[in-house]
Chains A and B, each alone.
Chain A
């Protein structure tokens, strides 16, 4: 069974010290599904995405990305941590886009996009360069390859960051509030790239405050609060006809 592009979580729990930030999270994302995670800040949306990318280790529960237990191997009695190399290999199949872009400032846009294939997959440089240029074109940044991150606007940097993730041919793309650090007039260009990606069948999990985008693009909207999934369903249901009082309250405050 090919489980590429799927995310599966059951009873997922994560705490920092005594503070439980994610509790009994159940999640099932099919290949090509677009999931928007909404909720107030501190509700655990970012932490959930960071767990799915393996940046945070979960305390308990099941977490499978692309059909593989992330970072661990299940035995009959326990989860055994994988070797660093094996974890790194799993991560190459998951793309992550950060709120603060996190482009490498010592590299040009093109080198940033090439960094994954060349430094991790040891792909030939010439081919990676062509691929990088094609990816930059696909995010609307033709001719910006030689620019360093500091020469680009926030929206442009975020689009380079998306291209950098895509260069690894991930099966799942995670977006951690990708437009929250942008000037309002730059939000649209990043959302357009993400929309395009969604139409091409990429599995995407997006933590966002852009309700319009969630309504238009998402297959599923998840509302989180206090580390719990409070409500999930079709965008029209969750956003248009919320059942939980906490969801209603949140939506009233943001719309």
Chain B
């Protein structure tokens, strides 16, 4: 005789009659006390916030409701959206150009592109915006002409650079620097073997960039650019200092008149929040799509670990 008991029953079962079969017992994870404490804190904070929002009359929710869809505010919102789209488009195009220069075979070109990135990332964008607004103080006249001929046209810079052009130029140039770094990071993420395979076929630098490097770096570039887009949406509030009638400036114009500062700032916040949430949905789709292609491209296990898995054991 090898065994007198059911082989799947453990010693533990035998001690307590009526215990269930060891093979069918559920596996249970107990929640730690810390999790309950955290839940209680979370609920307390939520109640506190809700209470003050509802009982503090200074919030003036009726004013918020009144101005939320006021024409001035909506016009400001449209201006913000237009600025975002313009600056992202110019910023991305110029950024791609700078990124290509940054990986040029010619050292002076690389240095120039590097200097551009260093300058525009190294100085505050608010200062840059004010600088562009006041550029006429530096170069009052711009002469556009054909060199060594009499054909030329003088342009008054003060008239050329309005608040909105200064805003678009300032934000685009600044965005281009960040975007260039995103592109460069994307290019660097392409496997070295891919470039060697292209070289081995005798591909030119341009073809290599267009057909091999850019398409393969998209999984890195597109989600990061989406984040930049959302960031840019909020960054446009900076141009209110130039007096561009975007969302923040629009509400400022109103509360300068009515002194209802807090409710109008809440109006602006509500719109920023709504737009950001609307943008983050396509952004999450884009991220998901590209994380899948990336997994396929590199033959890695299908999905990246979720944030909670990275934080540690969360059960």
Residues of chain B within 8 A (CB-CB) of A104 are 194, 197-198, 211-212, 216
A108 within 8 A of B: no
Question: CB within 8 A of A116: which of B196, B201, B212, B299?
Answer: B201
Given contacts A104-B212, A120-B207, contact A98 B201 (CB under 8 A): no
Give min CB distance, B212 to chain A, whole Å.
6
Whether B201 pairs with A92 at a CB distance below 8 angstroms is yes
**CB distance A119 to B196 under 8 Å?**
no
Interface contact B196-A88, CB-CB below 8 Å: no
Please tell me if B200 contacts chain A, counting CB pairs below 8 Å.
Answer: yes
Interfacial chain B residues near A88, Cβ < 8 Å: 202-204
Place the interface of chain B in its size category.
20 to 34
| A123-154 vs B, Cβ < 8 Å mask (1 yes, 0 no) | 00000000000000000000000001010000
Task: Indicate whether A94 sits within 8 Å of B207 (C-beta atoms), given known contacts A104-B212, A105-B216, A106-B216.
Answer: no
Q: Which residues on B sit within 8 Å (CB–CB) of A84?
A: 105, 204-205
Contact yes or no, A53 B200, CB < 8 A: yes
* Alpha-carbon distance A100/B195, docked complex (angstroms): 13
Tell me whether B203 and A119 are in contact (CB under 8 A). yes
Which single member of A54, A106, A148 contacts B215 (CB below 8 Å)?
Answer: A106
Number of interface residues of A (CB under 8 A): 30
Q: A76-97: contact bitstring with B at CB < 8 Å (1 yes, 0 no)?
A: 0000000011001111101110
Q: Residue B9 at the A interface, CB < 8 A?
A: no
B46 contacts partner chain A, Cβ-Cβ < 8 Å: no
Nearest-neighbour CB distance to chain B for A148, whole angstroms, equals: 8
The answer to whether A98 and B196 touch (CB under 8 A), given A105-B297, A119-B211, is yes
Within 8 A of A (CB), among B87-109: 105
A164 x B216 contact (CB < 8 A): no
CB of B32 closer than 8 Å to a CB of A? no
Q: Report yes or no: B201 in contact with A164, Cβ–Cβ below 8 A.
A: yes
> By the criterion CB–CB under 8 Å, are A119 and B207 in contact?
yes
Whether B11 sits at the interface, judged by CB under 8 Å, is no
Q: Is A3 an interface residue (CB 8 A)?
A: no
**Interface residue? B26 (CB, 8 A):** no
Residues of A contacting B207 in the complex (Cβ-Cβ under 8 angstroms): 119-120
Whether, in the assembled complex, A221 has its beta carbon less than 8 Å from a beta carbon of chain B, the answer is: no
Contact status A120-B203, CB under 8 Å: yes
Contact present for B199 and A115 (CB under 8 Å): no
Given A84-B205, A102-B193, A102-B194, check contact A96 B200 (CB 8 Å).
yes
Contact of A94 with B200 at beta-carbon distance under 8 Å, contacts A100-B193, A102-B193, A150-B296 already known: yes
* Interchain CB contact under 8 A, A91 and B216: no
What's the Cα separation between A161 and B193 when bound, in Å? 12
B202 and A120 form a contact (CB under 8 A) = yes
Chain B residues lying within 8 Å of A148, measured Cβ to Cβ, are 296
A55 at the interface (CB under 8 A from B): yes
A15 CB to nearest chain B CB (Å): 20
Binary interface profile of B, 173-200, with partner A (CB < 8 Å = 1, else 0)?
0000000000000000001011011111
Closest to A50 in B: B196
Do B201 and A168 have beta carbons less than 8 Å apart? yes
As a 0/1 sequence over residues 288 to 308 of chain B, the CB contacts with chain A under 8 angstroms (1 = contact) are 000000001111000000000
Q: With A55-B196, A120-B207 as given contacts, are A115 and B296 in contact (CB-CB < 8 Å)?
A: no
CB distance from A158 to the nearest CB of B (A): 12
Q: Are A150 and B196 in contact (CB under 8 A)?
A: no
Q: Are A120 and B201 in contact (CB under 8 A)?
A: yes
Q: What is the CB-to-nearest-CB distance from B192 to chain A, in angstroms, rounded to a whole number?
A: 9
- Distance in angstroms between the alpha carbons of A92 and B200 in the assembled complex: 7
Chain A residues positioned under 8 Å from B204 (CB to CB)? 84-85, 88, 120
Contact B193 A98 (CB under 8 A): yes
Task: Name the residue of chain B whose CB is nearest to the CB of A105.
Answer: B297
Which residues from A are CB-within-8-Å of B199?
Answer: 54-55, 91
* CA gap between A116 and B191 in the complex, in Å: 19
Q: A104-B212, A119-B211 are in contact. Are A55 and B194 (CB under 8 A)?
A: no
CA distance A161 to B196 in the complex (A): 13
Chain A residues close to B by CB (< 8 Å): 53-55, 84-85, 88-92, 94-96, 98, 100, 102-106, 115-116, 119-120, 148, 150, 161, 164-165, 168
10 extra A-B contacts, CB within 8 A, seeds A89-B202, A105-B297, A120-B201: A91-B200, A92-B202, A96-B196, A98-B193, A104-B197, A119-B201, A120-B207, A150-B296, A150-B297, A168-B201
A-B contact pairs, 16 of them (CB 8 A): A55-B199, A88-B202, A89-B202, A91-B202, A100-B193, A102-B193, A104-B198, A104-B211, A105-B216, A105-B297, A119-B203, A119-B211, A120-B203, A161-B197, A164-B201, A168-B201
The 4 closest A-B pairs by CB, nearest first: A102-B197, A92-B202, A88-B202, A102-B193
